[in-house]
Structure 1
Amino acid sequence: MKNYHFIAIGGAVMHNLALALVEKGYHVSGSDDEIYEPSKSRLSKAGILPKEYGWFPEKITEDLDGIILGMHARIDNPELEKAQDLGIPVYSFPEFIFNQSKDKNRVVIAGSHGKTSITSIILHVLKDQKIDFDYLVGAQIEGFDLMVRLSDAPIIIIEGDEYLTSPLDRTPKFFHYKHNIALVSGIAWDHYNVFPDFGEYKDQFRKFMETTPDDGELIYCEADQLVKVAAEALEIKAKKTPYKAHAATIESGKTYLKTEVGMIPIFIFGEHNLQNLQGALDICLALGLTKEQFYESIQSFKGAAKRQELIAGNDNACLYRDFAHAPSKLKATVNAVKSQFPERTLIAVQELHTYSSLNKEFLPNYEGSMDSADISIIYLNPHAAALKKLEVLDEESLRDGFKRPDLILFTDSQKLKEYLLQQDYSKTNLLLMSSGNYDNMDLEELKAKFK
């Protein structure tokens, strides 16, 4: 039996990987200085929740086959130092995933936006078509218990993040998967805290595409100018496949794909999602599926959690939740909801939660990102800014950055909730966007407004 210890086991991907290894029959232990829901309950149910929070070097023993190191851990972590002293192999989770999938056909989905949606579509189609595969995805998906699966399947679908690998490795995660097939959906400046220079950020994607093997395939979104220029300039022998939004039409708030076999109804919508869908189709074709198989399965795909997720609605109003936080994601989501329901008023709420979004120097990148909304609202918690050692953005700076003179700012989640509850949602959509949770705002009362 293999024996692995997780340093920072509570993270979204880390705890899912731990659970996947338990399912595989490995012995798993772990530590963390904080673990929140749902990680806490899921680790507890599997019997691997740490008995107490903190770091305990005594947990690191010579019988371990390896350490899996999370990004949350610091470089001077006492458990990490003990493992290094004992000569125990230390893996970041991307390195470990590669280690477990060396003999598989590795498909990596990369890009500043759309990664989770594209990966989710591919997973849904493969599962619906009863094809055996492993995966790593960055969000919980309907029909999948875990965000990670490792088995003897011949294929693995990986959501490839450009963020740093671990405290020991300051390169992007996606380099470690050594893809056979790669997709790049778009490039838009993100992770300002580790890539303060946009040129350096863009270069990570160029390097990633450049590593496509001669017998592999690079699938790229030609609708994104930065991706198109970078991909077309590459001197690689691998097959290059450009894609853009799948042809579609909207009828009475419902999107239909235009295909050779007729009009295909789908649940997802918006130009950005139609690009994601086409990219997923090209991946499925590269894996040997037919267009007919893809169109058959895509009709039942309802989207990934918090990606234009409909959480309440009636015949003339909808409440959507979305993970959007970076400027490009924000703009794509706002535009999609407004385009789908042009006759409805759109109230868009964005929580500034990440280091980039709370940074005054990065703020101009949000210009025009909420232009399609009829009412634009920003929520930020001063405590979140303080934790990141940033000054609290004022209303004037935000209005100037977003170029919305009518932008409304809230710094108290209760007051935001009261404001939203007071609105009339007749022929009105409400879009809540955040990589956080509005300080645990209870949405049940708000959902009731849409019944």
Structure 2
Amino acid sequence: MKKVHFIAIGGSAMHNLAIALHEKGYQVTGSDDAIFEPSKTRLEQRGILPNELGWFPEKITEDLDAVILGMHAHADNPEMLRAQELGIKIYSYPEYLYEQSKDKTRVVIGGSHGKTTITSMVLHCLHYHGIDVDYMVGAQLEGFDVMVKLTEDNEFMIMEGDEYLSSALDRRSKFLLYQPNIALISGIAWDHINVFPTFNSYKEQFSKFIDSIVNGGALIYNETDTEVVNVVENTERALKKFSYNIPAHSIDNGITYLETEEGPIPLEVFGDHNLMNLEGARAICKQLGMMDDDFNEAIQSFKGASKRLELINRTKDFVAYKDFAHAPSKVTSVTNAVKAQYKEKEVVGCLEIHTYSSLNPEFLVQYKGALDKADIKIVNYDPEALKIKRMEMISPEDIKKAFGDDSILVFTSSEELKNYIETLDKTNKVFLMMSSGSFGGTNLNELFKG
């Protein structure tokens, strides 16, 4: 039995990998200085929740086969230092995923936006047709108990490829460690400015990603994104290249229909970005041997990944969605999608600017026009977050100027925002609540209970 220890086991990705290894039969231990739900309960159910919080160098023993280091752990972590002292192999999360899949056909889906949804669509279609694969995805999916699955026997490993850093010891982008046989790039739009201070330094990661594809591998890409096309055209690698675009479709009475040779088929998802994601997923499934008819049959029942245009409530008066959108390109595409789907309704686009990168005045201007398609535009942010990080203070006027719209309503507390929505006439409106946070802990199901 292999013994593996996790430093920072409570993270969203880390605890899922810990569960996957536990279910594979490994002896798993871990530590963290804070573990929140749902990680806490999910680890506890499997008997691998640490007995107490904190870092304990004595947990690092010579009989460990590996130590897996999460991004949350700092460079002076005492458990990590002990592992180095004992000469135990320390892996980053992506390094260990590669170690688990190096004898499989690896499919890696990358891009600034859409990667979680495309990965989810591929897994949904494979699951629908009873095709068992190993996987790692960044959202909880209907029909899947965990976000990571690892086996000895499965032929394929489907992975969401993140461009963020690997660990405190390894400053490479995660997706550079997977060496895909089949890769996809959905789009390139500047993100993570805390580690990629210029757009060129960010874009360079995708060029490196293409270089990491195995010789003779396949590269699938969004031909409507000029930055993606640029990095694809500039590669000298001998790869099989396949592009995709928005498919033919129609919208009737709030339902999007995909045009196929067998006639129109209704979809549970909507918006140009999701239709684009669908075609990316189709291209991957085709590489895995799935016919178009089988893909079309399966994709009809795909309802979306968690927090990706997830329906909060639908009443006779209003509709409410929540979405993980926080980067400018995501906010734009999701807002546009909702307006296109509900042309006859008033769209209330509400964005919580939650990440420190987004609150940076230099980056804030990237949001210009992002909420233009909304009829009522709202931005919520917490000035206390800026004080904590000792960042330059921004004002509501700075927000309006950056977005290029004086009509934007700016709220600096979640309570103010909640009160506004509670008193607003919701008749004939669609609410789009966008954030990578939680609107200060606001219960959106309660807020939009009808």
TM-score normalised by structure 2 residue count: 0.98
RMSD: 1.0
**Partner secondary structure for residue 47 of structure 1:** coil
What amino acid does structure 2 have at the position aligned with 1:63? D
Paired AA for residue 440 in structure 2: D
Moved more, 309-318 or 63-72: 309-318
TM-fit CA distance, 1:356: 1.6
Q: Residue 225 of structure 1 aligns with which residue?
A: 226
Distance in 2, matches of 1:444 and 1:350, equals: 17
Secondary structure at 2:319 match in 1: strand
State the partner residue of 1:383: 384
Q: Distance in 2 between matches of 1:71 and 1:286?
A: 33
Q: Is 1:46 matched with 2:46?
A: yes
Give 1:47 shift.
1.3
Provide the identity percentage. Answer: 55
| Corresponding residue of 1:25 | 25
Give 1:96 deviation, angstroms.
0.3
Partner of 1:171: 172
What's the CA shift for 1:391? 3.0
Does structure 1 retain, via aligned residues, the 8 Å contact 2:380–2:411? yes
Determine if the alignment matches structure 1 residue 246 to structure 2 residue 251.
no
1:404 and 1:48 map into 2 onto residues whose CA distance is 50
The one-letter amino acid of 1:374's match is: D
Distance 1:435 1:145 in 2: 22
Where 1:358 maps in the other structure, the secondary structure is: coil
Q: Give the letter for the 2:382 counterpart.
A: N
Residue 316 of structure 1 and its aligned partner are, at CA, apart by 5.0
Paired with 2:179 and 2:333, the residues of 1 have a C-alpha distance of 30
1:44 counterpart letter in structure 2? E
Amino acid at match of 1:430: F
Match in the other structure for 2:259: 258
Give 3-state SS (helix, strand or coil) of 1:170's partner: coil
How many angstroms does 1:220 deviate by?
A: 0.3
Mapped contact 1:270–1:339 kept (Cα < 8 A):
yes
C-alpha distance after superposition, 1:302-358 (max 9, x if no partner): 000110111210345210000000000000000000010011001111111112211
SS in 2 for 1:321: strand
- Decide whether the 8 Å contact of 2:74 with 2:168 is kept in 1: yes
| 1:320-359 equivalences in 2 (<5 Å) | 320-359=321-360
Separation (CA, whole Å) in 2 of partners of 1:183 and 1:319:
31
- 1:77 match: 77
- Could you tell me which residue of structure 2 aligns to residue 295 of structure 1? 296
**Is the CA contact (8 Å cut-off) linking 2:312 and 2:445 kept in structure 1?**
no
Distance 2:386 2:353 in 1: 9
Segments of 5+ residues of structure 2 without an aligned counterpart are none
- Match of residue 145 from structure 2: 145
2:312 touches 2:444 (CA, 8 Å); kept in 1?
no
- Matching residue of 1:125: 125
* Matches of 1:231 and 1:277, distance apart in 2: 20
Q: Secondary structure at the match of 1:361?
A: helix
Q: Partners of 2:221 and 2:356 in 1: how far apart?
A: 28
Which SS does the other structure have where 2:231 is aligned?
Answer: helix
The Cα of 1:445 is off from its aligned counterpart by 2.8
CA distance in 2, matches of 1:25, 1:210: 34
Query: How far 1:48 moved relative to its partner?
Result: 1.3
Instruction: State the alpha-carbon separation in 2 of the partners of residues 116 and 7 from structure 1.
Output: 25
Q: Which runs of 4+ in 1 moved over 3 A?
A: none
- Matched letter for residue 256 of structure 1: Y
Q: Distance in 2 between matches of 1:348 and 1:421?
A: 15
* Preserved contact between residue 69 and residue 166 of structure 1 (Cα < 8 Å): yes
3-state DSSP class of the match of 1:164? coil
Q: Is the 8 A contact 2:325 2:331 kept in 1?
A: yes
Q: Which amino acid aligns with 2:349?
A: A
Q: How many residues align?
A: 449
Instruction: Give 1:306's aligned residue.
Output: 307
Find the aligned partners of 2:121 and 2:317 in 1 and give their Cα distance.
28
Q: Supply the AA of the counterpart residue of 1:119.
A: T
- Residue ranges of structure 1 left out of the alignment (5+ in a row): none
| Contact 2:268/2:300, CA 8 A, preserved across alignment | yes
Counterpart-to-counterpart distance in 2, 1:396 and 1:300 = 44
Asked if the contact 2:187/2:225 (under 8 Å) is kept, the reply is: yes
1:371 positional shift: 0.4
Structure-1 separation of matches of 2:24 and 2:129: 24
Partner secondary structure for residue 361 of structure 2? coil
Please tell me the residue identity of whatever aligns with 2:50: P
In the alignment, what sits opposite 1:422?
A: 423
Indicate the larger mover: 107-116 or 413-422.
Answer: 413-422
Of 307-316 and 258-267, the range deviating more from structure 2:
307-316
SS in 2 for 1:109: strand
